[in-house]
Amino acid sequence: MGALFVLPMLMIAILSFLKRGTYGQVVYEFTLNNYIRIFDPLYGQIFWDTLVVAVLTTVFSILCGYPLAYYISRLEKSTQQIWLLLVMIPFWINFLVRSYAWVIILRSQGVINTFLQSLGIISEPLPLLYNSGSVLLGMVYTLLPFMVLPIYVSLEQMDRRKLEAAYDLGATPWKAFWHVTLPMTKTGVVTGSILVFVSSIGMFVVPDVMGGAKSALIGNVIQNQFLSARDWPFGSALSIVLMLLSMLLILLYFRATKASETKEGSA
């Protein structure tokens, strides 16, 4: 099993140090130019935009996913199964089809603009598609189940006797949530955040379909290098840097979370 993970990464790492030939073929000569090229301000801005979108996607997924997971966990067991099924249903539909469904809803002659114009609320179609907002909407919609399910599991495994003890001691619902429920479900939030962040930082389908030419994230650049530009060595170098950046940010997130837990434990 290890070979299935290690060998592709090893091939990408080797490719990143090779050259691109005149006709797009790989030339087996060692070079660092692919990594030097990444320091071009153009790619720095794309990396920054990608990071901002990934962080915002993670934050909005927490804000939407936590209340939904909390609501599901408070339902009867039989009703919980129905809600969990609804959360997972989007996975049964092709990813590309779901993205184009949002295009139909958000475009100038789409469902929302047509409805608002028929009511006389707007006279001109709203620019709902092919901008940063539509990309963020598509990313949160696509990755929300990755946030909901880990948080739901944490809520289900929580020792509710501590919550009852907090109420017995006179805690308000908000204080009980903030000081008992949220700390006890932190593992689910951390797991969901990592799943959403890692998935969003390399995403290229949603920015391509819902962002159009105005939205270029690093996933789109890597895709273009492999499919259009036929510059596999540079695409490999971008992939390696993206992977290292993701690992660094996840490590910092883990350290910040652990430091917070240590501080709370010593308080």
pLDDT of residue 233: 94
The pLDDT confidence band at residue 252, using thresholds 50, 70 and 90, is confident
pLDDT of residue 266: 63
Checking if the pLDDT of 71 tops 90, the result is: yes
At which residue do the structure tokens 């389908």 appear? 205
Give φ, ψ of 26 to 5 degrees: -85, 125
Among 3-7, 110-114, 166-170, name the one with the lowest average pLDDT.
Answer: 3-7
Q: Mean of the pLDDT values across residues 32-53?
A: 92
Q: Mean of the pLDDT values across residues 18-44?
A: 91
The pLDDT confidence band at residue 257, using thresholds 50, 70 and 90, is confident
pLDDT of residue 52: 93
pLDDT of residue 1: 64
pLDDT of residue 250: 84
Percent of the chain with pLDDT over 70: 96
Checking if the pLDDT of 265 tops 70, the result is: no
pLDDT of residue 5: 79
Q: Mean of the pLDDT values across residues 7-12?
A: 90
Percent of the chain with pLDDT over 90: 51
Tell me: the pLDDT tens digits for 202-231? 888 888 888 876 677 899 999 999 988 899
pLDDT of residue 63: 96
User: How does the average pLDDT of the chain come out, rounded?
Assistant: 89
CA distance 32 to 39: 12
Tell me: the pLDDT tens digits for 97-148? 888 999 999 998 889 999 999 998 888 899 998 888 999 999 999 999 999 9
| More confident: 91 or 147 | 147
Entry pTM: 0.86
